[in-house]
Every structure is written in C-alpha cells, then in structure tokens.
A and B are shown apart, each in its own frame.
Chain A
Amino acid sequence: MSNTSPTRPEADGSVSLVGITKTFGNATAVDHIDLEVRSGEFISLLGPSGCGKTTLLRMIAGFEQPDEGDILVGGASVVDLPPHRRPVNTVFQSYALFPHMTVAENVAYGLRQRRVPKDEIARRVQDSLALAQMVDFADRKPTTLSGGQQQRVALARALVNRPKVLLLDEPMSALDRKLREEMQIELKLLQRELGITFIFVTHDQAEALSMSDRVVVMEKGAVQQLGTTEEVYRDPANAFVAGFIGKQNFIDATVSSPDALTTADGSIPLHRLPQGVTSGSSVRAAVRAEVVQVSAQRPNGPALQGTLAGISFLGDSIQYVVLTASGLELIARVSPDRAEHLSTGDTVWCSWDASELRVFEAAA
C-alpha cells in the first residue's frame, strides 16, 4: 500500500452497486438498485424500516448474497468474497462487541486476524482508542461501558483496520438524543479527517441530513432519490421523499391553470408545474411546516383560512396546528421571535411563498 496523500492514505474507496436484487421468500427486499458511491464521501441510506437499506448494507459487507447484480469496492468485484475477505468494516447496530474480551482486545481483533506484528498492533490499537477517546477504558470489559462508550469502541474496532469503506448500520439508534447529536458531529469530523468512505444506514432524516454529503432515500427496495442533502431537502423527487424529509403539509388539489391550484379551501398560487402535469389533473401539493406563516390578519397574497387548533412550544420554534373549513390539517413551525400572539380557537390565515410549494402527481 502506498501513501499517496496524508489525508487519504488508503486505496480507492468507491463502491458500485450494479443491478442488485435480493428477495427473501416472496418479499423483494432490494429491487434492481444501481448506486455509485464516490471514494471518501459520506453517504446515507435513508428510509423507513423494511425499505431494504439494511439488506443493502449487509450485502456490501457480505452477510447476505444478492440474487442478481454485482458489488464493486475500489473497482474490484467483491460479490464472490466471503465477509472476512472484503475490504470493508462494519459498525453494527447492537455494536456486537465481544463480551469476553477487553476493549483493547476487541480493537486488536481485526489486526490479529491479519497477523499484524505485535508492536504494530499495540501502536494502532493505542491510536485508534485515542481517536475514539477511549484509551482510559482499554482494559475494561464492554459490558461495563455505557452505550455511547460502547459505540466509540465499535467505531475504533472498525477503523483500526483502515478499511476502504466503513459501513454503519444505525449505530446511534440506542443513544439518547443529546449524545446522538454530539456523536453526529464527531463522526462527521472523523470522516473528513480520515477520508474513508462512510455508508451510513438510518431511518432518522435529521441524522442523515446533518452528516451526509449525499443521501439515498429508499422505499420498498428501490431508490426514490439520490442527491445532496440540500437537493433532497429543497427539491424532493416525489411525494414520498417530500414526506420523509422534513415536516410536510400535503394538500390534495386540482390544477386549475398553469399558475394556480384549486383546493377545497380556495385557490393557491403555483410557481411552476412539474413536467407531465397538465391543467385539470389531480395533484398532491406539499409545503414544509417551516415555511408556513400564520397570522391573525389576512396577508396581502393568497392564503388559506382556518381555525387555530393547537399551539406547542418546541424550543427552537412554535408549532401551530390549523384546521381549515374542509378539515385539512396544516402544521406551521414559526421561530418564536417572529410568532404573533395567538391563542387556540382564533381564526388565522396560513400563507407561504409560492416558490416553496412542490407539486407531485396524485398517484405518487
């Protein structure tokens, strides 16, 4: 192995999935997925449980065999290699630390398998534990550690092998929220520093958005959208992605003209129609809760009228729930310093910038 650059010492860490299909009995877990993961990027597989994201990760690791398709790591096919011969390492959801070994022994395990000399093992275990800030716990058994500490050990155990690609299977799902947010920042910094490709599986959209360079939104074994975090957030490809990323209000409507929609509660303006949607067709419009403004006075532009059904203080924002005359429920999240003095039962107007409205075909 030649060290070409100090930040990216290892070889090409790109991952290519070509036409991957996996079925369990009658259920198709992964359906003809093609995916190009760039070397050194942080990519998240995001989707609800059962969308096939974990199966996809397990196929890259080698724990499941795809029915069809090829998996390439660094340009070489690994699909016929058993897990122990693949140039990837995994951080497991349950951490899967060996309970009969100390923290240091756990971290040394992978190096032992590759017959790394003893003094090099000691040095690399030391470095890896330092990276994870777990040096002081080297001689402890994993069962005596907290969830966050166990996760750091799992991370150190995987990274000590200097894999081309690190696979992370919902590694933060067992942590409490505060710790999770801290670990998200640390993990992202670590990934930048090491330049290793991270493939991160999560069902938590906030987690995916906060850490990833790109996000793969999955549903029913298929990729719904692949894009940067910003693209996925600002320009969701379909109603599913829109609903999964951020808090969305969905409004069923009909296209009355190229620049307006008719809803049960009146007309709302439209910035642009998506391709293939014509006047008269039924659509699903989506607007994120963060861009909805709620006011007691009718604003200048078009707005939907409703009754304020609930107010909750979320800390960084105030959440309003507005019920329109047709029974549509609109959620608005307004920053506290911009919120008007409103109380439940008030008649209010909901408005938003027309460019924030996304329109999807109703079938989606």
Chain B
Amino acid sequence: MARRKVNGYAAIGFPTWAYVVFFFIVPLALVLWYSFGYKPDLFTAHANDILSFDRYAEALDATFVGTFWNTLRIGVIGTLLCLIIALPFAYWLAVKMNPKWRPLALALVLVPFWTNFLVRTLGWQIVLSPRGFLSDALQNLGIIHGRLDILYTQSAVQLGVVYNYLPLMILPLYVAIDRAGRPLREASADLGANRWKTLFTVTLPLAVPGIASGCLLVFIPLMGDYITASVLGGAQGNMIGQLVASQFNTAQNWALGSAMAVLLMVFTAAAVIVFGAAGLIIRSLVRRSRRVQLQGGAA
C-alpha cells in the first residue's frame, strides 16, 4: 500500500525530475567531462580522447584569477547593496503599507521582469551615456562638472546588477517580514522594547531565513552574469561570466570554457560556504548573548 503510494508520487513528479535530469544534471556532467578534454584543432570545439587537468591549469591564469576577484567584489557589494535597499522597502511594504495597496506595490516590483533582461540592461546605456538626460540633469544641477563618465566602468556594472537583481531580494524579505507578523511586534512593544529594539531583536532575527534566501538568489546568478557586464562594463568592467562565454562563443574552446565554468561553480560554492559559516557564527553569538541561565534546578 505504502509502496504504491510512493510510486504514485514518483509518477506525478516525473516532469520535475525529468527536467532536472535532462536540463541540469546531464549538461552539468557534460561540462565536467569536457573540462578534462582539450581543443584538438582550430575547427573543433572539444575532444576527450586524452584526459587531463591541463585545462584547469590553463584556466587559472592571472586574467582568470583577477577577473574572479573582481566578480566576487561586484557580487558581494551588489548583494549587500540589494540587501540594504531591499530591507527598508520590504519592511515598509510588509509593515507600514495599507494592505489594500500591497498587491499593486508587489506588481510594480515585478514590472521590470516583464522586460527582457538584455533590453532592460541596454536601457541603462541610454540613462548613463555621457550625453544622456541624466548627465545633462546632473550638470545643470551643478552636482557634476563635465559629462557623466560612468558608462563602461565597474560602477556602471555595479549599478546594473543591483538594478537587475533587486526584486529577487525584495520578495523573500517581504515574505519573511510579513510572516513575523504584527502580534509579535506588539508583544515586543508591550514588553518595553522601542521600534529599533523590536526591529533588531524580533523582526530581523525572524527574517533571517528570508535574508539568507534573498542573498543566495542574488549572489549566485550574479556571479555567473555576463550580460550586465558586457552591456555596461565594456573593457573595464569584466566579469568572470564573460570569460566563460567568450571561450564557448568566440574562441570555440569548449574544453577551456568548461574548466572555467567548473572553477567558477566551485569558487562560488566556496564563497557561499564561507559566508554561511560566518552567518552561523554570528547566530550562535547572538543566541549566547540572549541565553538565560536559571539559578538552581526545578522549583
């Protein structure tokens, strides 16, 4: 009986696991396989008759490492900026806003997603161009002297990624803060905590799962992003995703591109593990500071 039930669920789940197997596990395995091969001649992208780690050695050159650190910096700063911008907004949305207007506000957050990723990134080229309206407006206001010189720099990439990934941070934060709920905030106030104390001891600790998932949702795709950097970064704002893409598209060296892709995944996972461990340490410190040691045993 129980066995048949399990099989039933497996059958219902077929589309999902088929999707995961054929569009995630198999391609990933292929990339891993190619990364041990080589590029035999000018017209062939990859060959696997001789296996080696040579492509990894080749991939780990100064350009790759430098670009990786660059990307990591953009990723970390971008994730933090998204968090800093999204937190007050999500709090306002979940706590302060009239519930009547919430669906509209959430829809407005999602509106950029209705536009193609490339197109909305290209839009920033117009905004940030030295002869664009933003440049003119800032000059007229006397905020900058001379034309706006930000397009095709790392600053432009930084701005672009924050813009592109911000909704992915807002949504989980909104859900987490909303779920903490008004009764708990009222209980906190009732027990003598002001707004800030309530925010830091009740609302934010309860939003930690949302903060964590928001950070992952922003950081991981951001690390592999190459469109934002290609469109807004030009030659200066290079990101690791562009290097991988150029090996596949331009150099037609799938073996080297695969090795780079695997390294990117491993390094990104390592970064997530480091940040996660730091988060766990902070959490245990907070818990320790909160702990109440009762005197004596049971009364």
Contact = CB atoms under 8 A, between A and B. Distances in A.
A161 interface: yes
Contacts of A83: 186, 189-190
Contact of B183 (A82, A96, A114): A96
B294 A109 contact: no
Interface residues of B, number: 25
A84 B190 contact: yes
A191 B176 CA distance: 38
B183 A104 contact: no
A101 interface: yes
Given A109-B188, A126-B299, A98 B202 contact: yes
Contacts of A157: 191
B190 A90 contact: yes
Given A84-B193, A109-B191, A110-B191, A96 B186 contact: yes
B293 interface: yes
Interface residues of A, number: 41
A63 interface: yes
Contacts of A84: 189-194
Contacts of A126: 294-296, 299
A138 interface: yes
A61 B187 CA distance: 10
B205 interface: yes
Interface string A147-162: 0000000000110010
Contacts of B131: none
Contacts, number: 88
Contacts of A94: 183
Contact of B295 (A82, A98, A105, A123): A123
**Chain A interface main SS type:** helix
Given A105-B291, A122-B294, A125-B292, A92 B206 contact: no
Given A108-B292, A121-B292, A135-B298, A161 B183 contact: no
A136 B298 contact: yes
B290 interface: yes
Contacts of A161: 191-192
Interface in A120-138: 121-123, 125-126, 129-130, 135-136, 138
26 contacts: A61-B190, A82-B189, A84-B189, A84-B190, A84-B192, A88-B190, A92-B187, A98-B187, A99-B206, A102-B292, A105-B291, A108-B292, A110-B191, A110-B192, A113-B191, A114-B192, A119-B295, A122-B294, A125-B292, A126-B294, A126-B296, A130-B299, A135-B298, A138-B292, A157-B191, A161-B192
**A-B pairs, 9 with minimum CB distance:** A110-B191, A113-B192, A130-B299, A96-B187, A104-B292, A83-B189, A96-B183, A108-B292, A90-B190
Interface of B: 183-184, 186-194, 197, 201-202, 205-206, 290-296, 298-299
Interface of A: 61-63, 82-85, 88-90, 92, 94, 96-102, 104-105, 107-110, 113-114, 119, 121-123, 125-126, 129-130, 135-136, 138, 157-158, 161
